[in-house]
Amino acid sequence: MSDDLFTPLTLRGTEIPNRVTVSPMCQYSCEAGDGLATEWHRVHLGSRAVGGAGLVLTEATAVEPRGRISPQDLGIWSDDHADALAPITEFIRDQGRVPGIQLAHAGRKGSKTRPADGSVPLQPDEGGWETLAPSDHYPYGGDEPPATRRMDSDDISDVVTAFELSAERALDAGFEVAEVHAAHGYLLHEFLSPVANDRDDEYGGSFENRTRLVREVTAAVRDVWPDDKPVFVRVSATDWLPDRDSWTVEDTVRLSGRLADAGADLIDVSAGGLHPDQQVPDGGPNYQVPYAERVRKATDAAVGAVGGITTGQQADALIRNDRADLAIVGREHLRDPYFALNAARELGMSDRIDPPVQYQRVF
């Protein structure tokens, strides 16, 4: 009998009770500059756990202050950040769900106002900061981007260490899954793509060199993450820049095996985000799932699929048809915090998921 949406998934020694995952989605809801989780984060993430999702991932959580997208981004660069996140992970676990954190560095796409304020580049005297990138020629929109430094070897070493230390803090905070964010045009993706990386050292040029940093970061996180808990890596399968020498699905398939060798247990397959000229396909149902399917066929690691997943029947079919191991649901979870509970009812599987005792009379 094939797996379905409500079959548990065990990765290493961690059991995810069902295949519904809350995708990382930035909330831009910290007090400006401090990166500390707030009541908004507790209610936002906690309500999705109440809603039945087997795995609840935080938004992109910056491993250092320069790794934020906006001053209101969530962070994990100090023990205070771990302390602020600990009550959230405790609540998620109390619901029988698994808390996960996405560790991130925005790189060249940082130092912006939040989207509600226009995503306008911020200069240092406006609360912004100098951003980091593999190369100094690469803008990402805005009339006057903040100053960017081409990273030297010390910067690269510091970033690897920042991911490692942040993983240790995340573990102290009670997270059970650590995801490395290497997608959507942020720092690690910038190193991967020849569109953003014109280096001629050991971190640029060849496929081996351009993938070196994400492999080092994945290995560093794996080194400090317990053997019985999984590490994920989110990748952009393609830059959606067909007319340029860019990152492609074939590159992603090739990288996925190397990431598995570095300690990744699941590849979270998204796409795009690197350059404003990207040609995004019409976002119909499952529009990014074929990328995940390609990766799944080529690697021993588990795979998560994203993109236009809006119904329980659709998510269930992804698992039943062996297209992915997790259905990673973003925007639909903003519309419906109880997506998993409602999917179980829609599919006639309410006996396969445990709603909170307070809600049992309706589910």
pLDDT in tens, 99-132: 999 999 999 999 999 999 999 999 989 999 999 9
pLDDT attached to residue 341: 98
**pLDDT of 322 strictly over 60:** yes
Interior angle at CA 277, CA 275 and CA 282, nearest 5:
105
**pLDDT of 142 strictly over 60:** no
Q: Catalytic site residues? A: 186
| The pair of three-digit structure tokens given for residue 301, joined into one six-digit string | 């690691």
Q: Are strands 148-150 and 177-182 parallel, antiparallel or unpaired?
A: unpaired
pLDDT in tens, 82-99: 999 999 999 999 999 999
- What pLDDT band is residue 141 in, cutting at 50, 70 and 90? low
* 141 or 162: which leads in pLDDT: 162
Listed in order, strand segments (DSSP E) in the chain are: 9-11, 14-16, 20-22, 55-62, 98-104, 131-133, 148-150, 177-182, 231-236, 266-270, 302-305, 326-329
pLDDT attached to residue 137: 73
**pLDDT of 140 strictly over 80:** no
Residue 55, SS3 per DSSP: strand
Mean pLDDT of the chain: 95
Alpha-carbon torsion, ordered 258, 26, 132, 71, to 10 deg: -160
Buried-state track 266-287, b at ≥16 Cβ within 10 A, e below 16:
bbbbbbbbbbeebeeeeeeebb
Residue 271 CB partners (closer than 8 Å, separation 6+): 183, 236, 237, 238, 240, 288, 291, 307
**Mean pLDDT of the 310-337 span:** 97
pLDDT attached to residue 283: 79
CB burial of residue 160 (10 Å; 0-12, 13-18, 19+): middle
- What pLDDT band is residue 139 in, cutting at 50, 70 and 90? low
pLDDT in tens, 203-261: 999 999 999 999 999 999 999 999 999 999 999 999 999 989 999 999 999 999 999 99
Continuous segment of H or E residues that includes residue 256 = helix 249-262
CA–CA distance from 339 to each of 3, 22, 55, 283, 284 (Å)?
19, 10, 12, 20, 19
What superfamily in CATH does domain 9-359 come from? Aldolase class I (3.20.20.70)
**pLDDT of 200 strictly over 60:** yes
Distance CA 177, CA 167 (A): 10
